[in-house]
Amino acid sequence: MSDRPARTEEEVLDAIERRRRRPVRKLMDERITLSHGAGGKASHTLVEALFLPELRNPLLESLDDSAVFSVTENGRGPRLAFSTDSYVVHPLFFPGGDIGELAVNGTVNDLAMSGARPLHLSAGFIIEEGFEIPELQRIVASMGAAAREAGVTVVTGDTKVVERGKADGLYINTAGIGVMERDLDLSAAGVQAGDRVIVSGTIGDHGTAVMIARGDLALEVDLESDTAPLGGLTATLLDATDGVRCLRDPTRGGVATVLAELALSSELAIAIDEAALPIVPAVHGASEILGLDPLYVANEGKLLAIVAPEAADDAVAALRSHPLGADAAVIAEMQSYPPGLVILETAFGGSRVVDMLAGDPLPRIC
């Protein structure tokens, strides 16, 4: 993290103006790069410039983690949440989890962030010819255990096999259906100036653990992925207060990217208090060696809750009452100015603009 001095007001105004003038982003690339899959700026552009124009519909355009809709013509009857993610993590097994557990928890968490109770998952396997069946068995067993822990069932699936050299062992897609049992509309649109941003625990654990597991760096660090299902934690939070405006799980691109997107879509500023960020020493240390910023590193068992200021204490207390939220903390505040920007107030008294992840320093961490 840099501790360069705060930008002048002119500089900030200039940044806002540049951001405002930016039209719908254009895809300048001719070919797909790893950045397009990193969840940061290039992914965002790909979605805006390619997927949305061809597939346009109001549910997709919300760009939330889940689509929320009613299946009855009259709009009565239960509202559902629907979400999908593919998992291409490398290596398939890492400290604290494996691709199977990740594939269950990741999609369960996308559903939970919409306020839904996750119910059922689909599972699509793309397997490389020659993959060892005992490894597949271990991974599927891990999915089964994760599903039981999360209270969901895998109800439909598909298996494809591709020739040697046409995959990297195994890729898994899961899609999930949840039911909205609360009369909630959690979204970036509801966020207001003054709202607090709470993180449910330490950041950067998952991505750092996977990077270390690759072994390229010969780092010996005692660190595990935080992969966990967040349905229970979310329910605890929503039971405790009705001041929650929006929930996000900071996976690819990390907390920084999620907040940069939130600032853009809410047209508010977000001031992050660097000193308040919960980061375990192992992540701090590994990040310095790897040249990473934990703010941009993926989490797989953490949530960001944007809550009304008067609800912040109750929200933190509720999160801390749950084993998965023990280290919950207020880390940022929504502000009206400068709109669309995330500002990190550094521990050294300076400040800097935090943008979405650019490039892809961490390919295939989920």
Compute the least distance from the CB of residue 22 to its own copies, in Å: 20
Q: Is 37 in the site for its own copies (CB under 8 A)?
A: yes
* 157 sits near its own copies (criterion: CB under 8 A): yes
Sign of the dihedral through C-alpha 324, 328, 333, 339? negative
| 215 lies in the binding site for its own copies (CB under 8 A) | no
- Report if residue 2 touches its own copies, rule: CB under 8 A: no
Residues 37 and 54: their CA atoms lie apart, in Å, by: 19
Shortest CA distance to 150 belongs to which of 185, 99, 102, 79? 102
Q: Is 94 a binder of its own copies (CB under 8 A)?
A: no
**Is 83 near its own copies (CB under 8 A)?**
yes
What is the separation of C-alpha 323 from the centre of its chain, rounded to a whole number of angstroms? 20
Q: Contacting its own copies (CB under 8 A), which of 12, 112, 119, 244?
A: 119
Cβ proximity of 67 and 187 under 8 Å = no
| Nearest-approach distance from CB 361 to its own copies, in angstroms | 14
Give Dmax (Cα) for the chain.
61
**Whether the bond into 338 is cis, omega within 30 of 0:** yes
Instruction: Give one DSSP letter per residue of 232-281, joined into a string.
Output: HHHHHHHHH-S-EEEEE---TTHHHHHHHHHHHHHT-EEEEEGGG----H
Interface characters, 161-200, with its own copies (x: CB under 8 A):
xxx-xxxx--x-x-x-x-x---------------------
User: Which range of residues in 69-77, 270-278, 285-293, 301-309 is near its own copies by CB under 8 A?
Assistant: 69-77
State which of residues 4, 160, 214, 284 lies at the interface with its own copies (CB under 8 A): 160
Please state the closest distance from residue 19 (CB atom) to its own copies, in A. 23
Rule CB under 8 A: say whether 78 interacts with its own copies: yes
